[in-house]
Structure 1
Amino acid sequence: MQTLKEDVRQNILRAALAEFKSHDYADASMRRISAAAGITTGNIYRYFKNKEELFEALVKPVYEKLLDYLLSLKNELDRSYIDGNGEMKYFGMIEDTVVGLFDAYSAELTILMNRSTGSKYSGVKADMVRLVTTILEDAFASGREHAAKLTAEQRQSARMLAGTIVEGVCLILREHEDGETVKRLVNEFIRLYHAGMMCGLPD
């Protein structure tokens, strides 16, 4: 049996990245991917057993990083209020982690957030909105332990802001391909929301 070659696998991944950026998961074609990679369609299945496995190879590592960073930020926010540090000094973590992802993995994040329809990741955007909502609720309540005291209007505001933030990031990813540009725009966008939140938080 012919030994699988890492350079062929990387060619497949590069071709798949371009295909999934241009087409939703459900519409992406293994035939187009194999043609772009310069191999037969049959040969591509020696490296990835199906389209789902190929898609997962591209987006799963980035999804796990993004989720881990957001959960770490949420935990840091919770600790900051427990320690009496309500100034959100954790904001630098956002730039070092989440924003950094958009520079290194802008294509994969574009696919994950905008092109995953039909895959097991199709609910990622909704998941992100829910997670960002809990982070905003913590901020509004000055800590998770006080979140139960939020009014219905405050909870609705957190959901609306979270949806706007996630949709704004998705829009940036859709309209720009250069990682450095995406990173700069996401950074500016998050800073704008952070400044607005700080102005709106109670003393």
Structure 2
Amino acid sequence: MPIFKSEWRFTLMQVLKDELRHAMLKVAQNMFLDPGYEKTSMKDIAAKVGVSVGNLYRYFPNKEALLEAVTMPAYERLLELMENSEDISANRMPIILDQLESLLAEFLREYRQSLLILLYESKGTRQENIRNEFFDRFVGHVKMHFADYNQKTAAMKQLNSDAARPLAIAFLEGYFEIIRLYSDEDQIVQAAREYVTIWFSGLQILL
């Protein structure tokens, strides 16, 4: 069935709107990293995109809404990876490292810049506590490993669950620092693989 002229025009307009929105998000993402979220205004973003400030506000009611649009996909994907992570065991470590390498490479290609904004440029926004949310969720995973270990261990050798939080935070902070320090995907993947291997070697008692 042929597309009527009005339908074709509507489809074209929607494509153009989607492309313009994508351009706004891309420019905002770049500027929220450099010079940074606080130093970037809606006027700056509009000028870089080549649209009026009013047009930008038609798509995003304020700068924080634009920040959320830029960072939420990274947030949701990282939570998904954390929640779907498989149990670690000594005999599965080579497989886990291979999976980590694949997932990290995929994540970085799509979300590295957005994650950096979320972690380091969201102060003073509704998203500034998301970093702690990542920590809290990972603490839960570490406590689970502590509990599993304690069930199989004599009382005198059991681990204090109070150690789970600093341990989990230290691990994630190191992981985030690798992503911040390196922009090259291969460097990040290699550094992360070595980092996890070193941590695993030191934590084998839990497994």
TM above 0.5: yes
* 2:103 is the counterpart of 1:91: no
Residue number in structure 2 paired with 1:72: 84
* 2:174 is the counterpart of 1:168: yes
Q: Secondary structure at the match of 1:5?
A: helix
RMSD (Å), alpha carbons: 3.1
Q: Which runs of 5+ in 2 are unaligned?
A: 1-12
User: How far did 1:23 drift?
Assistant: 5.0
In the TM superposition, 1:123-142 aligns within 5 A as 123-142=129-148
1-side partners of 2:192 and 2:132: how far apart? 19
2-side partners of 1:120 and 1:152: how far apart? 39
Q: How many residues align?
A: 190
Whether the 8 Å CA contact 1:9–1:47 is kept in 2: the answer is yes
In the TM superposition, 1:1-203 aligns within 5 A as 3=13, 5-22=17-34, 25-73=37-85, 76-77=86-87, 87=91, 91-92=96-97, 93-98=99-104, 100-142=106-148, 154-198=160-204, 200-201=205-206
User: How far did 1:16 drift?
Assistant: 0.4
Whether the 8 Å CA contact 1:113–1:125 is kept in 2: the answer is yes
1-side partners of 2:121 and 2:156: how far apart? 35
- Scaled by the length of structure 2, what TM-score is found? 0.75
Q: Which runs of 5+ in 1 are unaligned?
A: none
Gap change, CA 1:196 and 1:44, over 3 Å in 2? same
Residue number in structure 1 paired with 2:6: none
2-side partners of 1:145 and 1:20: how far apart? 47
User: How far did 1:97 drift?
Assistant: 3.0
User: How far did 1:144 drift?
Assistant: 9.9
- Scaled by the length of structure 1, what TM-score is found? 0.76
Q: Percent identity?
A: 27
Amino acid across the alignment from 2:49? A
Q: Secondary structure at the match of 1:45?
A: helix
1-side partners of 2:138 and 2:200: how far apart? 13
Tell me which structure has the larger Cα radius of gyration. 2
Whether the 8 Å CA contact 1:103–1:180 is kept in 2: the answer is no
Residue number in structure 1 paired with 2:4: none
